A = this chain, B = another copy of it.
Amino acid sequence: MRATVIHGGFDVRLQEVPDPVLVEPTDAIVRVLVSCICGSDLWGYRRPGPREGGPGRIGHEFVGVVEEVGADVVTVRPGDVVVAPFVWSDGTCPNCRAGVHTSCLHGGDWGGPGVDAGQGEAVRVPQADGTLVAAPVAPDDERLAALLTLSDVMGTGHHAALAAGVRPGSAVAVVGDGAVGLCGVLAARRLGAERVILMSRHEDRSALGRAFGATDVVAERGEDAVAAVRDLTEGLGVPHVLECVGTQLSWETAVGLARPGGTVGYVGVPVEVTALPHWPMFGRNVSVHGGVAPVRAYLPELMADVLAGRLDPSPVFDLELPLADVAAGYAAMHERRAIKVLLRP
């Protein structure tokens, strides 16, 4: 089969790899219907030079059809359309039972040693019962793109909003107008937020943010953004902030936007964070909640809303390409010509 392999900075290639086969009785083989490129895939793509440890498989978001299951698999069967979260997990360990599937004692990452990744034609899924969630739809259902967002960005935006404590009537600020930030807007509104202030300087992204329910858009950055949001909130800031970027500036902005006693829900991979702003956090009692999103925990609830037509994050995909053009997809996201690229094998 063909799958995407990252060789180093700005070098991803679709190439022939071995077809997946069942290894453990808890495995399933899934043929990929749709996959996509994540903002976090760009961290490795932008790192110059050959990839540390040699070329590796990449992609952690996919929806597919089950082709084969191991002897122990009971929750999915061949023919099922399934959504895969961006981390695989057994669903039964103490951390999964506590809702933190990303810390599964028997789980792991797509593209890890001996494990396939999502940007390919098929995937061996470890811990299939714990990992996959079947969707009662046909393989050509028009909601596949919306379901695909539940692999990562929509679940991650939801995690940020939950972690920030958003509830009916809340005033919220969202730092980050990428796919996760935009899904954070959707998630905050879905949880009942009345006011959602999106930090965005890009016209296309702020337009989508407004379509997703943002009530205000602030184009300033850093201290100017903090001043602008305080102007909108009687000088206080907002009680709930979603940090969906992961840079030093985004963090300083997020903590600055929070009113005393407020909460920052964060999901941005903190690759470019030097030090969280602990003095303003301490002095103003700003809490910091979140981390890598256990999207598996949220999949059933969010899927129900997608299937009922109450939730459609699919507009975050503003470019669709055949898997063969995956390299062009990375380039488009790197150059900010696309918010998020959907790939069809």
Contacts and interface: CB of A to CB of B under 8 A. Distances in A.
B287 A288 contact: yes
Interface stretch (A127-135, A274-282, A321-329): A274-282
A288 B291 contact: no
A interface: dominant SS: mixed
A285 B288 CA distance: 10
A103 interface: yes
Contact of A287 (B269, B284, B286, B290): B290
Contact of A100 (B260, B288, B290): B260
B292 A261 contact: no
A239 to B, nearest CB: 8
A283 interface: yes
B273 A98 contact: no
Given A285-B103, A286-B291, A287-B288, A260 B98 contact: yes
A222 interface: no
Interface residues of A, number: 35
A276 B276 contact: yes
Given A103-B261, A260-B98, A279 B270 contact: yes
- Integer count of this chain's copies in the complex: 2
Contacts of A79: none
Contacts of A140: none
A69 B290 CA distance: 47
A283 B287 CA distance: 17
Contact of A288 (B99, B274, B281, B292): B281
Contact of A274 (B273, B275, B292, B294): B275
B103 A260 contact: yes
A163 interface: yes
A94 B234 contact: yes
A51 interface: no
Interface string A244-280: 0000000000000001110000100110011110110
Interface in A76-101: 94-95, 98-100
Contacts of A284: 100, 103, 291
Nearest to A95: B260
A256 to B, nearest CB: 14
Nearest to A279: B270
Contacts of A260: 95, 98, 100, 102-103
A287 B163 contact: yes
A236 interface: yes
Given A103-B285, A269-B282, A287-B287, A98 B261 contact: yes
A267 to B, nearest CB: 9
Interface of A: 94-95, 98-100, 102-103, 163, 234, 236, 259-261, 266, 269-270, 273-276, 278-279, 281-292, 294
24 contacts: A94-B234, A95-B236, A95-B259, A95-B260, A98-B259, A98-B260, A100-B260, A100-B284, A100-B285, A102-B260, A103-B260, A103-B283, A275-B276, A281-B288, A281-B291, A283-B292, A285-B290, A285-B291, A285-B292, A285-B294, A286-B291, A287-B287, A287-B288, A289-B289
Given A94-B236, A98-B261, A102-B285, 9 more contacts: A95-B261, A102-B283, A103-B284, A282-B291, A285-B291, A285-B294, A287-B288, A287-B289, A287-B290
